[in-house]
Amino acid sequence: MRTGFGQVGLGFRRDMLDELDSGVPDEIDFFEIAPENWMTLGGRFSKQLAEFTSYKPFICHGLSLSIGSYDPLDMTFLKKLKTFLKDYNIRLYSEHLSYCSADGHMYDLMPIPFTEDAIKHTVARIKRVQDVLERPLVLENVSYYCTPGQTLTEQEFTLAILEESGCQLLLDVNNIYVNSVNHKYDAEAFLKAMPTDKIAYGHIAGHYVEAEDLIVDTHGSAVASPVWALLEKAYEIHGVFPTLLERDFNIPQMGELITELKDIKRIQRATVRQLNGVKTNAL
């Protein structure tokens, strides 16, 4: 189990550039970007990204790999991505355990069927991507709203993918909470089942409560109380891991985001104190 202090990250957006040019707040240890939003940019944006990546760690969280699709892997994209990751010294490349293409690109993340056949198909594609990129792929447990052709649980499917492919896990705590409500399973039991040594980093985000039994993963609001509690539980089970705050729309002023980053750091520190046998009220 991890017992050291973690790190706290934030999604990096182009509209933050002017504000961040005057200095990156101390509360931000690393940034995450979607490579698709930056790979084709040159000029000022390319120069600014190079400057930021020279003094803060960056990771990438992709949008278009479509790892579970039956469409051929986009090898042109992968080769450009490999160059991009190297040029900007990107530490990790993560994607979604889902698909977003079927005879053409779809603008949504679709659930891979939880079946043995889907595991074999997806594992083969993961291994191919890892061979091309020459690095482990990090895959996120995603939120989903239907389970087409399901013969396995989400937990069984996720564990098989991790074990058979050699990939790592982006543990999205909000997605676990959302799915546990929508599909009526025990979120803590799912957390406990995830292999600690596979967790590369984590996500936490806000969601929208549509109904008592339906939550929509939006990344458009502040983190909810049950998700904060589940993050604490995740740290208790797996130790403290780097954790990134996602906010994709309704983005508030930096000060509000910093408040949530401080909350992540506070929980990390309290957990480390507890795991190391030090009273948490000593902070």
- For residue 117, pLDDT beyond 50: yes
Q: How far apart are CA 167 and CA 137, in angstroms?
A: 5
- Average pLDDT, integer, range 163-177: 98
Confidence of residue 1 (pLDDT cuts 50, 70, 90): very low
Q: Within a domain: residue 235?
A: yes
What are the CA-CA distances from residue 258 to residues 49, 202, 203, 261 (Å)?
21, 17, 15, 5
What pLDDT score was predicted for residue 2? 55
Q: Is 22 a residue whose pLDDT tops 90?
A: no
Structure confidence by residue, pLDDT tens digits, 196-207: 999 999 999 998
Does 282 fall in a domain?
Answer: no
What is the number of structural domains in the chain? Answer: 1
Tens digit of each residue's pLDDT (9 = 90 or more) over 36-62: 999 988 788 898 899 999 989 999 999
**Residue 60: what are its φ and ψ, rounded to 5°?**
-115, 140
pLDDT at 161: 98
pLDDT of res. 105? 67
pLDDT band at 157 (very low <50, low <70, confident <90, very high): very high
Question: Does residue 64 surpass a pLDDT of 90?
Answer: yes
Whether the CA torsion 29, 34, 37, 40 is positive or negative: it is positive
**Mean pLDDT over each residue of the chain, to the nearest integer:** 91
**Domain limits for position 67:** 8-275
With respect to residue 40, please indicate whether it lies within any of the assigned structural domains. yes
165 found inside a domain: yes
The pLDDT of residue 103 is 63
Least Cα distance to 241 among 171, 158, 162 occurs for 171
**Contacts with 82 (C-beta within 8 Å, 6 or more apart), sequence order:** 132, 133, 134
How many Cβ atoms sit within 10 Å of the Cβ of residue 197?
A: 10
128 found inside a domain: yes
- Asked whether residue 283 is domain-assigned, the answer is no
Tell me what pLDDT residue 205 has. 93
Q: Is the pTM of this model over 0.75?
A: yes
The answer, yes or no, to whether residue 222 has pLDDT greater than 50, is yes
CB 71 within 8 A of CB 79: no
CATH code, 217 = 3.20.20.150
**Does residue 195 form part of some domain?**
yes
281 within a domain of the structure (yes/no): no
pLDDT at 42: 78
Q: What is the pLDDT of residue 6?
A: 66
